[in-house]
Amino acid sequence: MNTIFQLFLIGLLLTLSKLEACNYSSKGSVQFPGNFSFGVSTSAYQIEGAWNEDGKGVSIWDDFTHKNPELVRDGSNGDIAINSYHRFDDDLEILNDLKVDHYRFSISWTRIFPNGEVKYRNQAGIDYYNKIIDKLLASGIKPLVTLFHFDLPMEIQKMGGFISPLSIEYFVQYATEIFKLYGDRVKHWITFNEPWFMCKLAYGDGIYPPLINASGIADYLCIDSILKAHGATYRRFKSHFKKQKGQIGISLNSPYFIIADSSDKDILERAMQFNLGYLAHPIFSKAGGYPEVMVKDIAKNSFLEGRIMSRLPSLEGEWKDIVRGSADFLGLNYYSSAYIRYASQPVGRNPSFERDTNYETYNKFPSQSSQSCDPAGLEGLLKWIRKEYNNVPVIITENGYRDMGELRDDNRTSYLKTHLQAVLNALNDGCNVVGYTHWSLVDNFEWLFGYTIKYGLYGVNMTSPKRDRVAKKSAKFYKKVIRSRILQMEDV
């Protein structure tokens, strides 16, 4: 073994052990502000089941899992899931057990508008969400409602889905009806969940429905439509529903980045713009529009490929203004960091997002079953947001740990603890973080992983028709933090 390689290995082990031990120290106060909002998150397709009951229409996830069970790790689907459509009271019981301040859930578009269009509405679906919202409020829990969490109506997909600009108007109409139905009681809305992630997997890599495999092209079109749909929805809300006094944001996912080679310093900025900045810059920056580095580099690559236009659509003029400033808060979904370095040769398919970034991720975190734990990444990300977007209010809308479902989930508990510590550190440093939402309340259908990996604070007995919920160790820990608003490191 040569010395350089040995040094490399030692460095690697040190970095990994730092990440795996998942320690994180406190910087200042251990007390959360009294008005800090603690919550948990779920989404409709992942928990509801009742996929074809009471008049619900078909979504692209119903269609995809039925036609391609081999593409889901355990061949499963969300037909029954954890049956929240019939067992919301069980969810409410555990929400009350935790005594969360807010509950983030999503509305299934096809449960209310089976064909996607607002002309035909389904009363049973409307009633279901009325019941949820009313019961949450009666328990003193604020609903934080996501309008769209991956489950596009099949009929809208037939119009081209998010590649088609028609999707913008369909979404605005859908959102408008939802505001009319529930905006008297719901005061916090999220338009879209993780557009970057969804568009990339669904329209770039072709592994999420609608399975469109056109990387560096269709994924970019999808994001463009979603940004416009988001912006137009915000404008509609502020012009037509002002009296409701609600707030609207969007949930954006982003890792933070670990740069091992200090000569690559500017790569962090580049990676942040290509990831969080891709959607956050158009909405939250003063200038608006896509990040300059993306506009420039994707245009350059496009011309080198012999195209006459950039693969990145233009977000200029009226649309730029509609999208700029179109959010009251930033919803942040953070799970872990990635190691990156400049690519020594072109990476990824040609064309693709990866190719356009011109960096490569390497030594992605350890094994499949154990997830990385990098609370410093969350703190770094929050500080980056503070600097970049004028300290916009941030609600962490997802953050969580995947495992195989142990009830004594020490790793999840320490992940939760250290990430709450990162939030506290950011707060102590002046970051405007107003809430934290753990993914997830309960084990559920994890998309292509089916039920093989778990994120819940509560487990579910999947062989029981009642789908009994069972508290894990992490639920007991979170409950204690919520009650005391103090983070005791020795609690774990």
Applying CB under 6 A, does 14 fall inside the site for ligand NAG?
A: no
398 noted as active-site residue: yes
Which residues fall within 8 angstroms of residue 376, CB to CB, at 6 or more apart?
Answer: 24, 256, 337, 422
Count each helix (H run) and each strand (E run) in the chain, helices first. 18, 13
**Contact status, residue 171 vs residue 159, Cβ threshold 8 Å:** no
> Contact between 434 and ligand NAG (CB under 6 A)?
yes
Contact 251, 148 (CB under 8 A): no
Binding mask 342-381 for ligand NAG (x = CB under 6 A): ---------------------------xx-----------
Query: Can you tell me the distance from the alpha carbon of 78 to that of 51, in angstroms, rounded to the nearest whole number?
Result: 7
The torsion of the CA quartet 408, 411, 413, 416, rounded to 10 degrees, works out to: -150
Q: Footprint of ligand NAG on residues 28-47 (CB under 6 A)? A: 33, 35
Considering the candidates 48, 388, 398, 446, report the single residue annotated as catalytic: 398
Give the nearest distance from C-beta 113 to ligand NAG in angstroms.
30
Binds ligand NAG (CB under 6 A): choice among 25, 387, 464, 490:
464
Are the beta carbons of 202 and 209 closer than 8 angstroms? yes
- When asked if residue 484 is in the footprint of ligand NAG (CB under 6 A), the reply is no
Pairing verdict, β 329-333 and 338-342: unpaired
- Which residue among 48, 194, 354, 379 is the active-site one? 194
Site membership for ligand NAG, residue 53 (CB under 6 A): no
Tell whether residue 411 is a contact of ligand NAG (CB under 6 A). Answer: yes
What tokens were used for 401? 């740990």
* Residue 61: alpha-carbon gap to chain centroid: 17
In the bound complex, which residue of the shown chain has the CB atom lying closest to ligand NAG?
464
Determine whether 305 is an active site residue. Answer: no
Q: Which stretch binds ligand NAG (CB under 6 A): 155-163, 206-214, 352-360, 374-382?
A: 206-214
The identity of residue 10, as a single letter, is I
Residue whose CB is less far from ligand NAG, 169 or 465: 465
CA 3 to chain centre: 42
Q: How far apart are CA 173 and CA 166, in angstroms?
A: 11
Q: What is the largest CA-CA distance in the chain?
A: 70
User: What x/- string results for residues 74 through 103 when contact with ligand NAG is judged by CB under 6 A?
Assistant: ------------------------------
Interface stretch with ligand NAG, choices 123-131, 205-213, 335-343, 450-458 (CB under 6 A): 205-213
User: Catalytic residues, which ones?
Assistant: 194, 398
Q: Binding residues for ligand NAG, per CB under 6 A?
A: 20, 33, 35, 206-207, 213, 369-370, 403, 406, 411, 434, 461, 463-464
